[in-house]
Structure 1
């Protein structure tokens, strides 16, 4: 089976390239020898900039960021085999595609095809009336005080009963732990409780390999890899033959959806037997409001788990890395934490202005979703004059947007929470000054802006307060070695985030 998979992949990747090389060998050789002197990748007939894409596949986010930032009007057209992709870091263009011309720029066929096995028709894989309906239903449920209170209780319990004890043990035993893994487990437990009312108990001292969590990770990773395939026909053939990564994806998706439907059945039975239930998780809310179709509820809840599973953990991972390297920032955060509360459980974090600014600054440099792509459903012209043909993918690039000198200044590479703050002339207190969502689209913008934004900040600030009040998080890396930013559907620290936990005196 492995031999068949490799042979199929090689066959479909190499044949077009060989034909082109034989015809254009001399030209290609000359261009390859001189291409490194230019800022932008060379594009050839048939294969576009495939050679440059291949060369930079391990640093795709950083490479495309450099291309966009070096381009006039912060917009660049990358030619891939068989298609072109427009990349942009221009706030006016982002507003164009996410708001003023929202009706033109949809998820599109490519996105839906790549994720349909995993997400079905869920809100993050839907367009048109299907999306509008799910958005309306979800928006109503998210804007309730009872859900906010439920989220607060879930997060506080996970922090006090699981996260803090694990960190205390690591500190006492002087062990190195992968903090990225810890934070991912923390986020997974939280989002499953909030979405399903189900506790996977993924953050336990034994760090178990929970079946549902592992299947979800496999489904996310393999689905995202489809987007980077130079020839989509390869993964489609593998899916048809049920071999290799596509076989593993089918098994993982099967486990996730079967598990979800089992929980839905149990929840329906629970709702029948009780006139009212204590849980106010999203699944209970959807079922109680009359949405009983299993496929619909499964799709939408899986989508919310995907959205909340790794985004907050990714943001927190890079936050703790940056805070360690900026002790003055850590000192100010600690002062704010102690000023707001001396207890380990924080009933209110909305006034933690400096911490909020620090999180925004961290996500500017390391956004949880570094790029997001839409597909044009008709011909269009972007504000800078770039012509977009129907079917073209247009990607806005939050990672690049956080590095634009014209927006953030010459010191854009510095971690400075103060760039989000201004002092009140009367009281002398800090006020938070937000950037508009088209300059800082970390939570998307326009009609699709993230419904869970406030929930995410609530969770992150509670974690920051709970951890930093008691511990120092010290990276256990060789001096001078910086972690590598990489991404599937969400960003990660390549190889994990090894740290030592030191109890504050």
Structure 2
């Protein structure tokens, strides 16, 4: 209510200027309707407020369409009171931001402020020395030995002991499962086990009450909506008085932090009780590196849960939907699975070239993190000539980049794993990846995702294990098209209802 009154007062103050401006520009606006550019008109004080507001619920798709029609694949969006945000789907600009001028583009105070209550000083919300330290310590967990252990013990155990039995029961019962939620539970168990040495047992057959998961969803949802607020003062006022969405966020974050703090305390006790651990996990490395502050360790736990739970589950959700829509791709994957039969698990998934390409193609169309923003430290000029003023937020747009005809050709809308593949002299598929600035799904440059290889191995193992035994059939009406929604990561709106059908053994 207070925000509404404040905004109304501001509009009344600006009304004379608005009337004059709108009258002056009406004819120009009408003439520009046929223009190939659909960049929204900007007015004094309010910027493109009305266009932004009317597209608030489909912001990702809206900005994608603008970028698709832009000659340079870049445009500037004017917000209230003269603030600006630059959007780009230009690979040269992305490389400039994430690599060659990395020093000039950082998370910045806006992003840190919006996400601080949830992520604190975790690796995804910091810059400078704190980021370097967390990345350096974390990097030890992503060597070949750790990846092999992750696939052979953690993922494979979760797959065979929990996921497969649950899917088998669904076949017998002919029940409908929300595959998106199941995959989130699966990924949550995995990241907790490999990163913290803790098993939350979220994917037990009984599907235990997921109070933490619900709180985590609320925290990511409400935190992401802060970014879309027209005036940051609005959510800050609500936070100060602990009302509305900010009250819900406070409750959710408290539950999330209590859960993460419990993991930290148990790990500290474990370290105190044992002179040496049988295995060293990510959390143990941080706690034995001299940083034993409980709040800092809690921030680390929350950040890695976000990275490990929401990204792979989002990618796999869309992957199984796309397989249903493209049976010829599923047939090729089944052929590959059959060809790897009998191989050790790690070697099997590492060598699944066609499946790897299909996953890349899925994330091209439905990236788990569809937008990412940086703030300019100093004035700059992007390679396409776009002027960037100090303090400007610059957003690179993986979702739009996956839909650019200039990058992917006229068939960009088609799901074609073959665009990632080449045949060698023997006629065998070999992977032909794109540079990370054309395909920044895992970021690029110094902030390139440490868990990229781990994510691929986990996803390929799930695909192999599930498709070998089951056919995933969406429990939806003919013509249904799922909606792509974005919080801090992407989701399939309303979940992904499926039925499982037993498949004749492909081995």
Rounded to whole Å, the distance in 1 between the matches of 2:371 and 2:154 is 30
Compute the displacement of 1:294 (Å). 2.0
Match of 2:45 in 1: 46
Rounded to whole Å, the distance in 2 between the matches of 1:36 and 1:497 is 38
Match of 1:79 in 2: 78
Map residues 37-436 of structure 1 onto 2, 5 A cutoff. Answer: 37-38=34-35, 39-82=38-81, 83-143=83-143, 145-146=145-146, 148-341=148-341, 348-425=348-425, 427-436=426-435
Name the SS for the 1:318 alignment partner: helix
- After superposing the two structures, state which structure 1 stretch, 467-476 or 249-258, moved more: 249-258
Task: Give me the TM-score of the superposition, normalised by structure 2.
Answer: 0.94
Name the SS for the 2:102 alignment partner: coil
Rounded to whole Å, the distance in 1 between the matches of 2:152 and 2:79 is 45
The total of aligned residue pairs comes to 498
Compute the displacement of 1:296 (Å). 2.5
Distance 1:469 1:443, change over 3 A: same
| Contact 1:21–1:28 (CA under 8 A) maintained in structure 2 | no
- After superposing the two structures, state which structure 1 stretch, 476-485 or 248-257, moved more: 248-257
Compute the displacement of 1:24 (Å). 2.9
Match of 1:17 in 2: 11
Compute the displacement of 1:188 (Å). 1.4
How far does the alpha carbon of each residue in 1:155-192 deviate from its partner, in whole angstroms, 9 at most, with x for none?
A: 11111111111111111222222111111111112112
Rounded to whole Å, the distance in 1 between the matches of 2:278 and 2:217 is 30
How far does the alpha carbon of each residue in 1:442-482 deviate from its partner, in whole angstroms, 9 at most, with x for none?
A: 00000000000000001000000011111111112221121
Rounded to whole Å, the distance in 2 between the matches of 1:212 and 1:150 is 24
Rounded to whole Å, the distance in 2 between the matches of 1:230 and 1:339 is 54
Rounded to whole Å, the distance in 2 between the matches of 1:396 and 1:202 is 34
Compute the displacement of 1:11 (Å). 1.6
| Contact 1:345–1:466 (CA under 8 A) maintained in structure 2 | no
- After superposing the two structures, state which structure 1 stretch, 269-278 or 54-63, moved more: 269-278
- Alignment gaps of 5+ in structure 2: none
Name the SS for the 2:350 alignment partner: coil
Name the SS for the 1:46 alignment partner: coil
Rounded to whole Å, the distance in 2 between the matches of 1:250 and 1:152 is 38
How far does the alpha carbon of each residue in 1:133-160 deviate from its partner, in whole angstroms, 9 at most, with x for none?
A: 2111212333361464145411111111
Match of 2:461 in 1: 462
Rounded to whole Å, the distance in 2 between the matches of 1:504 and 1:233 is 55
Compute the displacement of 1:295 (Å). 2.5
Name the SS for the 2:189 alignment partner: helix
Name the SS for the 2:103 alignment partner: coil
Name the SS for the 1:486 alignment partner: strand
Distance 1:19 1:205, change over 3 A: farther
Compute the displacement of 1:37 (Å). 4.8
Name the SS for the 1:469 alignment partner: helix
- After superposing the two structures, state which structure 1 stretch, 487-496 or 256-265, moved more: 256-265
Rounded to whole Å, the distance in 2 between the matches of 1:400 and 1:329 is 24
Task: Give me the TM-score of the superposition, normalised by structure 1.
Answer: 0.94
Rounded to whole Å, the distance in 2 between the matches of 1:12 and 1:294 is 39
Match of 1:452 in 2: 451
Compute the displacement of 1:26 (Å). 7.0
Compute the displacement of 1:228 (Å). 0.6
